[in-house]
């Protein structure tokens, strides 16, 4: 079967750095996405990786290792508004997105 | 632009009743999707449409039907609701279905089936 694993919950301090990991086992791989979802709201797109390496976008960076079936989302200079769930999704060989359950990130002052 | 709109925002439905969740996008996207999101689980694909006039089944299609008569609208119908269909339903769209195509989500419909 297909599987996306993420930690259920993480806690970090305002101003700090946090890394959210995602491991996947899917039938085929056509890219990995990270989305942010605030409580009660829709998911919104953060990043896309299809090649190995780091993609940087402001305070957020995303890393991919296809050989290890592994990605992480790195959030720097954490702000209270970063409190949200972060969803990892992999596009499989049928071009459908397979979603992880999400990591709830709690930011403390 | 409005992006994707969904209606209703929330609904309480008696088991056995039917209901249609509406989804409209104004981005002229070719592909549209319906997901359900349940606590502790990832988004699960119910049905999808790669282009107007075509539809396909996702991971959890049973009890649901869709139609795609035009580019903008993608309604989801529950023919006879059951309590296990209590969930948050998200409609999404993307320009196409290629590798880099990003899916954009509507605000969701919260459905409680009693």
Contact B42, A100 (CB under 8 A): yes
**CA B86: distance to chain centroid?**
14
Q: Does the pLDDT at position A98 exceed 90?
A: yes
Mutation target among B23, B42, B48, B59 for the A interface, most CBs of A within 10 A: B42
- Does B43 contact A30 at a Cβ distance shorter than 8 Å? no
Name the one residue in this structure whose structure tokens are 């990130």.
A105
Q: Does the pLDDT at position B92 exceed 90?
A: yes
Chain A residues in contact with B44 (beta carbon < 8 A): 99
Q: Does the pLDDT at position A66 exceed 80?
A: yes
- Residue A95: pLDDT band by 50, 70, 90 thresholds? confident
pLDDT tens column, B16-28: 999 999 999 999 9
Phi/psi at A56 (5° precision): -110, 135
How far is Cα A97 from Cα A28, in angstroms, rounded to an integer? 11
Instruction: Determine contact: B60 vs chain A, CB below 8 A.
Output: no
Average pLDDT over residues A54-68: 96
Q: Is the dihedral of CA B97, B102, B107, B109 positive or negative?
A: positive
DSSP chain A: --EEE--SEEEEETTS-EEEEEEEE-SS-S-EEEEEE-TTS--EEEEEE-SSEEEEETTEEEEEETTTTEEEEEE-S--GGG-EEEEEEEE-TTS-EEE---EEEEEE-
Contact A47, A64 (CB under 8 A): no
Tallying the residues shown for chain A, one arrives at 109
Average pLDDT over residues A8-25: 98
* Structure confidence at residue B1 (pLDDT): 56
Phi/psi at B65 (5° precision): -140, 155
pLDDT tens column, B39-62: 989 899 999 999 999 999 999 999
Chain A residues in contact with B107 (beta carbon < 8 A): 41-42
Please tell me the distance in Å from B3's CA to the nearest CA on chain A. 12
């Amino acid at each position: 079967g297909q599987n996306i694993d993420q930690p259920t919950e993480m806690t970090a301090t305002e101003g700090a750095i946090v890394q959210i990991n995602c491991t996947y086992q899917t039938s085929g791989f056509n890219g990995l996405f990270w989305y942010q979802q605030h409580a009660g709201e829709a998911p919104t797109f953060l990043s896309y990786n299809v090649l190995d390496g780091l993609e940087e976008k402001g305070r957020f960076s995303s890393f991919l290792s296809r050989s290890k079936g592994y990605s992480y989302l790195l959030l720097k200079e954490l702000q209270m508004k970063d409190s949200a769930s972060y969803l990892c999704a992999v596009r499989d060989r049928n071009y459908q997105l397979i979603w992880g359950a999400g990591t709830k990130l709690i930011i403390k002052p | 632009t409005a992006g994707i709109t969904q209606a209703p925002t929330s609904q309480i439905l008696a088991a056995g009743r039917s209901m249609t969740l509406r989804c409209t996008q104004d981005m002229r996207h070719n592909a549209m999707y319906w997901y359900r999101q349940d606590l502790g689980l990832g988004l699960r694909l119910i049905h999808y449409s790669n282009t107007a006039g075509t539809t396909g089944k996702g991971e959890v299609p049973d009890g649901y039907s869709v139609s795609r008569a035009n580019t903008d609208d993608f309604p989801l119908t529950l023919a006879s609701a059951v309590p296990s269909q209590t969930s948050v339903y998200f409609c999404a769209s993307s320009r196409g279905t290629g590798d880099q195509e990003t899916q954009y989500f509507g605000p969701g419909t919260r459905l409680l089936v009693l």
